[in-house]
Amino acid sequence: MILENKLNITDQIELAKAEEKISKQKAKQLFDSGDINKVEVGTFTGLSFIHAYLFEEIYPFAGNIRDVNIAKGTTAFARVMYLESSLKHIDAMPQSTFDEIIEKYVEMNVAHPFREGNGRATRIWLDMMLKKNIHRVVDWNQVHKEDYLSAMQRSVVKDIEIKVLLKQALTDQINDRALFMKGIDVSYYYEGYSEFKTEEL
Ligand SMILES: Nc1ncnc2c1ncn2[C@@H]1O[C@H](COP(=O)(O)OP(=O)(O)O)[C@@H](O)[C@H]1O
Ligand SMILES: [Mg+2]
């Protein structure tokens, strides 16, 4: 079933293309306008801002906590009735070291607060924590899609794989515009969107 959207698109392929194009334009704008520097780092408020920024022109639920239970593969994400308390708990988790930041990211993935777009919004949120607290970001181009997805699937039980995978991909190029834009493209590629290049939009 196709998600209800503000564009009144009823064709799945057409919606995927419009979503990719518009939200990548917004991701670019987030960086170039400097709005990214206004985002609260490491909280649900900050994540919600990012999600709304990317998707508000497309989905009525942009930035809002979902009201349905969702699952991917064998993973059932936080049940709606526990979601708010889970997000409060995550807000309070420490974020001083690489390990703490990844643990917080893994918990946010388990919460999966939005109906759609969690992966793409939460990877921007993750990089902001890494940038602020350890002066590094992930060079997503160094993280193979299948390795990433299998490490995330596994992270629900054990987080060692995602820690190892992301640690080897850290870079100190934290203000590099091209690296950010390329990171958006890779992040979208993980989710099956690779029609447009962010830089060219
Ligand atoms: N089986 C799984 N178990 C846990 N997490 C998963 C699983 N599969 C995917 N993920 C995580 O969920 C993200 C996708 O969530 P989703 O809400 O669909 O975001 P997006 O719309 O940006 O693709 C992936 O990037 C990954 O981090
Ligand atoms: Mg998705």
Q: How close is the Cα of 120 to the center of ligand 1, in Å? A: 9
Residue range of the domain that includes 95: 13-200
Q: Is residue 4 a part of any domain in this protein? A: no
Structural domains of the chain, count: 1
Q: Give the residues across from 171 on adjacent strands.
A: 137
* Cβ of 119 below 6 Å from ligand 1: yes
Q: Is residue 2 a part of any domain in this protein? A: no
* Cβ of 75 below 6 Å from ligand 1: yes
Q: Is residue 147 a part of any domain in this protein? A: yes
Q: How far lies 180's CA from each of 41, 128, 140, 183, in Å?
A: 17, 11, 9, 5
Q: How close is the Cα of 116 to the center of ligand 2, in Å? A: 5
Task: Spell out the residues 6+ positions from residue 200 whose beta carbon is closer than 8 angstroms to its own.
Answer: none
User: Tell me, what's the pLDDT at 1?
Assistant: 80
Q: How close is the Cα of 91 to the center of ligand 1, in Å? A: 20
Query: In degrees, to the nearest 5, what angle opens at C-alpha 30 toward C-alphas 184 and 197?
Result: 35
Burial class (CB in 10 A: 0-12, 13-18, 19+), 192: exposed
Per-residue model confidence as pLDDT tens digits over 71-101: 999 999 999 999 999 999 999 999 999 999 9
- Ligand closest to CA 59: 1
Count CB neighbours of 170 within 10 A.
17
Q: Is residue 74 a part of any domain in this protein? A: yes
Q: Is residue 7 a part of any domain in this protein? A: no
Q: Is residue 22 a part of any domain in this protein? A: yes
User: Tell me, what's the pLDDT at 121?
Assistant: 98
Q: Is residue 6 a part of any domain in this protein? A: no
Q: Is residue 162 a part of any domain in this protein? A: yes
* Cβ of 116 below 6 Å from ligand 1: yes
Q: How far lies 49's CA from each of 38, 73, 187, in Å?
A: 10, 28, 18
* Cβ of 156 below 6 Å from ligand 1: yes
Task: Spell out the residues 6+ positions from residue 144 whose beta carbon is closer than 8 angstroms to its own.
Answer: none
Model-level pTM greater than 0.95? yes
Task: Spell out the residues 6+ positions from residue 177 whose beta carbon is closer than 8 angstroms to its own.
Answer: 31, 32
**Is residue 3 a contact partner of residue 116, using CB atoms and an 8 Å limit?**
yes
pLDDT per residue, tens digit, the chain (201 aa), is 899 999 999 999 999 999 999 999 999 999 999 999 999 999 999 999 999 999 999 999 999 999 999 999 999 999 999 999 999 999 999 999 999 999 999 999 999 999 999 999 999 999 999 999 999 999 999 999 999 999 999 999 999 999 999 999 999 999 999 999 999 999 999 999 999 999 999
Tell me the CATH number at 55: 1.10.3290.10
